[in-house]
Chain A
Amino acid sequence: MGLPGMTVLVMFVAVPLLLGLGWSFTNKRLISPLPTQWVGMRNYTSILSLRTIRIDPVRDAQGGIMREEDGRPRYPKVRELVKGDPALEDYGEWFRVKRGDGYSVWLSKDPSFMNALLNTIRFVIVIVPCQGGLALLLALLVNRRLRGTDALRTIFFAPVVTSMAVVAVVWIFLLNPSQGIVNYFLSWISAGALRDIPWLPDRRYAHVAIYIVSIWQSAGFQMIIFLAGLQSIPEQLYESAHIDGAGPWQLFSRVTFPLLRNTTIFVVISTTILAFRVFTQIDIMTKGGPQESTSSLIYYVVQQGFRQQHIGYASAVTVVFFLFVLLVSGIQKALLRSSGEEE
């Protein structure tokens, strides 16, 4: 009886997973006449290797600090240090932190992967509470039996049924610095104080723009789930709480929220997993830039595997990604379960 389902699972989940795992130990390329070779753990060491070196200002013979033309102390070029030291082969600078006179420089064999990983984690940390919170607010709003809530519900849900590719293209126009409606509106409500914000070309704003678009597009989905949860709460509970003299806040914090516990757990876990997959809006709106400030793990995998044709390497990244998501959802589940047991 479970045969059709199992066949689909095996064909589209198990087989690709195992193939990917196998390829991750090879240098398999997408299209190439070269034979695929076993490279052992090389892809993984390249992804995960990290180390730090210290650099101090360059000094002249008298011990005085040498300076650049603009007066800043001169530091040795990290790229040259790395090239001159066989122990540092393949490493590149990821970022640097000021330590006393000099810098502590973090090196990675694949700084682009590290940037993609950090961006993805940052994305999840922002998206899960913001999107979940907004969805709950919208659900509470729509759940009130007032006139016009049906229309509101449709409006909030409309972006969810719109393809992310379309949403992303539309938002490129909305976010245009000089002609977009977003800046026009900001400038209007701030009486001209906020003007011409370079949303997508500036690394200070580009990731924020991606957050906004992502939340706008998918909050309606979680709203519907919360709404289902809200409507399953029996009306009598509110009535009796009301008779006991509970105010609106107490109604929410003592009745609504505890009874939404299972819904919340589902929303948090599913939003986390969905957020880890962020790709389309990045591919269309920023191409991971500027300076990799918006690249994500999936974007990096597609970039490596299809566009640069390094299938073996991209497979290794997906295996690392898979283990990472497994770990995070495991921790989430354990935390949510233990917090449930305390009550």
Chain B
Amino acid sequence: MRNRKALFLTLILPLVLSVAVDVYAAPANKAVTLWFHGGTAEETAAMKSQIERFNASQKNFKVEMTEIPGGAVAGSGYNDSVNAAAVAGKLPDILDLDGPNLYNYAWAGFLRDLTNLAGADLKADLLPSLIAQGTYKGKLYAIGQYDSGLSLAGRRSMLKKAGVRIPKGVKDAWTMAEFKDALSKLKASGQTEYVIDLKMNYGAGEWLTYAFSPILWGFGGDLIDRKTWKTADGVLNGPEAVAAMKFFQGLFAQKLANLTPADDNDFVNGKTALGFCGHWMTTPYYKAFGDDFTLIPMPNWGKKAVTGMGSWAWAISTQSKNPDGAWAFFKFMLQPDEILAITNINGAVPGRISALNKTDLYKAGGRLAVFSDQLKTGVAVPRPATPAYPAVTSAFYTAADSIAKGADVKTELDTAVDKIDKDIKNNNGYPEK
């Protein structure tokens, strides 16, 4: 009997005490709510430990993370949640937004202007591409810890066997003719079932815009007229854009690319010798092949070499009741070491020059140098900075999905143009308040 009581006390007492401590501690820690899109398991774990370090580092604020899935792949789940919360006035203090979606939220007045909070020192140290991506109408609304890298992945041994030149860097990237030649040589060499992995397993979503609208620009087309921002007519369905998307369609028609990969692993499983490679795939690819895996800069598509950029970036909502706490967390997570804690896991390009210089991966000759070179030399181009972006991207990825599956290119692009123009018209041309 006595033993039982002792057992009871040893079990219950700590519980009671911990609750009491929590209650006692609560007023000092002002809660800062944070929404995070569902990244990979490793990214989420790194994010969690970052938040724990912040909470332990000071006593004034306590960041509480909610993970909302559906952001990364073909995702609308995360955006649906953010939209709904914005309408209901339930936005968290801090949220992360995928690249170009932030223009719509900034235009609608849901994001706090960070221009003055971020001092000159920080701005000078941030990657110019990050500032470009986070800025709408001259004001800075979001800051990412990293920018994305997108280039081609290749297997040195296979390229060598097929007699294909491996570019040393961004400066000697393949020309369009060389790229086509590489594709047919690799096909003829018969080493793999397909030649290039285009990650079509991501489905009809942002991936298609992020990865393949750069081909449009490289051919001389675009998603929207970036002079007036009022129409996509003649740009997205002009002869250059049609040629670009016919090339894209041809990759599937000629069985160079797999329209229906079962998962992320076609390149790892040896089904292709090349692949479109976002930074998040570099770690698994390196694990699988070591130094046989190499990044190859995006080719010159005709007019110019272009690739996608922009990634998830952090913003503070105007509905936030604790912007000081939010900004304190921004300062914490933008420290070079905290940035590296994330990028060492997901392979993205660190967002500050000082962080970039702390790692050898992105220096000349480094394994991921292609990513940082593409960002520094203007090969990576941001997606259009317009509040119409949600309409633009959904029109484009729907068209690109049908085009990949064999639909008539001109008809699909015309349809996309009509959808975009209708949206702009319905919003009175997205006037500024």
Interface positions of A (Cβ within 8 A of B): 27, 29-34, 79, 90, 92, 173, 176-180, 198, 200-203, 287-291, 303, 306-310, 313
Contact = CB atoms under 8 A, between A and B. Distances in A.
Given A32-B108, A291-B407, 16 more contacts: A31-B83, A31-B108, A32-B427, A92-B418, A177-B260, A198-B260, A202-B406, A287-B74, A287-B203, A287-B205, A290-B407, A291-B405, A306-B80, A306-B84, A307-B390, A310-B426
A303 B394 contact: yes
B402 A290 contact: yes
27 contacts: A27-B426, A29-B427, A30-B83, A33-B109, A34-B427, A34-B428, A34-B431, A90-B422, A176-B262, A177-B260, A178-B260, A178-B262, A180-B262, A198-B259, A198-B260, A202-B406, A287-B74, A289-B204, A289-B398, A289-B401, A289-B402, A290-B405, A291-B405, A307-B79, A307-B390, A308-B390, A310-B426
A173 B110 contact: no
A109 B2 CA distance: 82
A12 to B, nearest CB: 16
Contacts, number: 83
Nearest to A32: B108
Nearest to B76: A307
Contact of A287 (B390, B401, B412, B428): B401
Contacts of A92: 415, 418
Contacts of B80: 306-307
Interface string B55-89: 00000000000000000001010011001101100
Q: Is the interface of A mostly helix, strand, loop or mixed?
A: loop
B108 A33 contact: yes
B423 interface: yes
B414 interface: yes
Nearest to B261: A176
Interface size class of B (residues with CB under 8 A): 35 or more
A91 to B, nearest CB: 10
B76 A291 contact: no
A203 B418 CA distance: 22
B259 A309 contact: no
Contacts of A203: 405
A203 B108 CA distance: 38
Given A31-B87, A287-B203, A290-B402, A307 B418 contact: no
Interface string B395-409: 000100110111100
A285 to B, nearest CB: 9
B405 A179 contact: no
B100 to A, nearest CB: 14
B105 interface: yes
Contacts of B414: 79
A177 B80 CA distance: 31
Contacts of B204: 287, 289
A256 to B, nearest CB: 44
Q: Which of A27, A203, A289 has the most CB of B within 10 A?
A: A289
B203 A291 contact: no
Nearest to A178: B260
B344 interface: no
B433 interface: yes
A200 B401 CA distance: 12
